[in-house]
Amino acid sequence: EAIVFGQGKCYGKKDVEVTKCQADASFTTEILTKMPLGTCILMGDPHILTFDNPTGQIEDNTQLVGGDYAVVVSDKLTIDGRFGYSSRFPSEASLTGLSVTGSLLSGHKLVVEYRGPDKGEAGFKTTWNGVEILESLGTEYTSPDGVLKAKKANMNPDDFHNHARHTIGGEAGSGDRPSFLFEITPDLTIYALIGDETINAVITLRKVDGIDGYCGNFNCIPDDDTLEELDKRGLKAPLAASAFPESPIASAAKSSGDSPKTLNDCDPALLAKAEQSCKDAEDAMKEDCMFDICASGDVEAGTEDLITDAVGEEMEEKFTFMGLSLPSLAIAGISPQVQWMLVFSTVSLAAVGFAGGVWSRRFRRASSSARSGGFSRVAEDEEEALLMPRSVWEQQGLTSYNHEGDEFDSELDA
């Protein structure tokens, strides 16, 4: 699908996922056949990391007012999100449901929403074209035409995004939790971690034309997807009519007439605890951490976020320390367990490769005098040159390679 150029080499790449790209100016990715994949996550009350801001380079979007909102909107796909109030966040909205429809789904409609009265997975209702599916934990469903493959089971949130556990999923690495997974043909996957009355959703899709909404316009510019910019495009306010077939349940209504809290409204004693608990957070996440504590009244709400962030940052440092800068090794969306396995495997392979390289060079030197005819040995610098894009050759004044003479032809092409 694409070619990645960098450090004098090129790499074939399929399933380009912008969430996993590292910020490294020495690599360039050229898309050839398909648009890239992107990931948007809605978590907590709710914080939204857009397709263009998947790792929180800038402050996330936070919508505290309940209602139905355009999460993803395009000619082919509509994903509406229902933001409602919960026992944990009684005056700040959280994601309580998703409605998915459009020609990308061949006109079908998927709805998952908390309807109660039970809390947890038993309180969520899932329908496909109005017919209930996934009625109990451990069940699966495949639509007759194969468009949807769905399951409701215990899954590891860390396998889908390093922020997937935010406020409702415990500490990073703490194991499986009741979850939904919806795989929609082609190229749309929605993972939802189930809380008592809310969900955290990780939406991964291939870019389509004209995409917009709370998940952003997927143009690689995070600054034009802020709430201020969404307001300019008429996408910030709740929808007058959404794709949800039913109205919000009464228990999801706001429990008081108070306006949503800000840090200025936080109880001074609780604010001091939040400041202390979140002091080590990065600037972009510190305010979110403090707000979650103030909104829920629970210091653990911020502590869980910090633990999850720390795992991702530690793994990024490990990879950077070892000089692994290929875009495919970025950590976003990879569970901590898999990240540690990658680190161990990489170190092991490097050690074996080094030892093998030393032996190989000694063997070649010892046997080179016995060789006659056949292919000549290509020097390391020449081998690298063979992998260089033509543009790099031209910048260095090298336009062709003559194998027979084992030398570069620096004359310009006729």
In the prediction, which pLDDT does 25 show? 65
Q: Which residues contact 23 (CB under 8 A, 6 or more apart)?
A: none
Judging by beta carbons within 10 Å of its beta carbon (0-12, 13-18, 19+), is residue 263 exposed, middle or buried?
middle
CA distance 266 to 268: 6
Residue 47 has a CB neighbour count (10 Å cut-off) of 25
In the prediction, which pLDDT does 318 show? 44
Instruction: Please state the separation of Cα 244 from the chain's center in Å.
Output: 25
Residue 138 has a CB neighbour count (10 Å cut-off) of 11
Angle at 176 between CA 305 and CA 334, to 5 degrees: 60
Joined tokens for residue 188? 């749309």
Joined tokens for residue 243? 């794709």
In the prediction, which pLDDT does 248 show? 87
Joined tokens for residue 181? 């997974």
> Residue 28 forms beta bridges with which residues?
5
Joined tokens for residue 127? 């329908």
Q: How many residues does the chain have?
A: 414
CA distances from 185 to 105, 106, 338 (A): 7, 9, 26
In the prediction, which pLDDT does 16 show? 73
219 residue type, one letter: N
In the prediction, which pLDDT does 128 show? 98
In the prediction, which pLDDT does 141 show? 98
Q: Which residues contact 258 (CB under 8 A, 6 or more apart)?
A: 91
Angle between helices 283-296 and 299-321 (to 10 degrees): 160
The torsion angles phi and psi of 72, rounded to 5 degrees, stand at -135, 130
In the prediction, which pLDDT does 409 show? 41
CA distance 330 to 342: 11
341 residue type, one letter: M
In the prediction, which pLDDT does 29 show? 73
pLDDT in tens, the chain (414 residues): 767 777 776 777 777 777 666 566 677 777 666 888 999 999 988 899 999 998 888 999 998 899 999 999 999 999 999 999 998 888 889 999 999 999 999 999 999 999 999 999 999 999 999 999 999 999 999 999 999 999 999 999 999 998 899 989 888 888 999 999 999 998 999 999 999 999 999 999 999 989 999 999 999 899 999 999 999 999 999 999 999 998 887 654 454 445 445 555 666 677 677 777 777 766 556 666 666 666 656 666 555 555 545 544 444 444 344 444 333 333 344 444 555 455 556 555 655 555 555 444 444 444 433 333 333 333 444 434 434 444 544 454 444 433 333 333 433 333
Round to the nearest angstrom and report the end-to-end CA distance of the chain: 33
In the prediction, which pLDDT does 408 show? 37
Joined tokens for residue 311? 């795992």
Report whether 73 contacts 62 (CB < 8 A).
no
In the prediction, which pLDDT does 370 show? 37
| Cα-trace Rg, the chain | 26
Helices (H), 143-298: 227-232, 268-277, 283-296
Joined tokens for residue 54? 């998947």
CA distance 103 to 109: 10
